[in-house]
Amino acid sequence: MTRETERNNYSIAQRKLFLNNGVELAYYDSHPDGGAEDGITQTVVLLHGYCGSSAYWERVIDDLEQSVRIIAPDLRGHGRSSAPVFESYTMEMYAEDIAEMLIKLQIHNLVLLGHSLGGYITLAFAEKYSKKLSGFGLIHSTSLEDSDTAKQNRDKAVEALQQNGVQAFVDGLIPKLFAPDNLEAEPEAVERIKEIGYATALQGAIATARGMKERANRKHVIEQSDLPILLIAGANDKVVAKESTFAASNGLTIKEELRKSAHMGMIEQPKELAAAIVSFVKSKQ
């Protein structure tokens, strides 16, 4: 399947379901039949970052879905999912969306991996629903809460969104997520990520910024877990430094550094990221 040529498609989600809380959740499913006929026994759920969508994963899915079932939702307020009116989308709200999605899809014993915002949601999910997981991980994310400066920046983001809208905000945000060399070498990829971001609902972007500001420190979720954990950091990440990604660990933690990436390893080093995920999943079998 050639996804990168679909430039006008801001999401790769091909299915939708309605949650009991009223959210219409769009999602990509590599094996809607469960994958048993193809010998697929493990499900990996991928959660995208802020102002992203399931399309964030389009460069890694082909390498992953040969060995695992991939579920990649558009988080509420993003992509093709609905944007319910709330002052704040807390990480706990997002986690409940994922939990209900999994119930409706009858998926258990999964690996949950989250990029940036998706990592914060992964930790909220793992804190409450660890028995549903066989492993989890953070990709360019952290278990730490926002610093005072970061909280101020969330407020500035909300103000910018309210004054100038999503497109102007995304135009300012996305270039900061790439390593300088990659920003110069792959202008089309940068534009693609912007296009994905433009589809974020204004309500969703604002409520999510507030939710990220409010999130709790969840180092204990990692440190007290008895599950395998994958932590992936970008050597050139100026948004979440590798020290923040690696701030907590347990005895089953695998740490990977993408040396040519900043905050967008799934775009900057997709083959290496996919290989790290496959290796992590296989190590648990």
Three-state secondary structure readout of 214-274: HCCCCHHHHHCCCCCEEEEEECCCCCCCHHHHCCCCCCCEEEEEECCCCCCHHHHCHHHHH
Return d(Cα 153, Cα 157) in angstroms, integer.
6
Element (H, E) at 173: helix 148-173
pLDDT of residue 6: 41
Domain membership flag for residue 8 = no
Strand residue runs (E) in the chain: 15-18, 24-29, 43-47, 69-73, 110-115, 133-139, 229-234, 253-258
- Number of structural domains the chain divides into: 1
pLDDT band at residue 156 under the 50/70/90 scheme? very high
Residue 276 lies in a domain: yes
- Looking at the chain, the whole-number percentage of residues with pLDDT higher than 90 is 92
- The answer to the question of residue 231 being in a domain is yes
Kindly report the CATH number assigned to the domain that includes residue 26: 3.40.50.1820
The model's pLDDT over 203-225, given as tens digits with 9 standing for 90+, comes to: 999 999 999 999 999 999 999 99
In a domain, 10, yes or no: no
On whether residue 30 sits in a domain, the answer given is yes
Establish if 21 belongs to a structural domain: yes
Task: Supply the pTM of this predicted model.
Answer: 0.96
pLDDT (average), residues 142-162: 98
Range of the domain at 254: 15-283
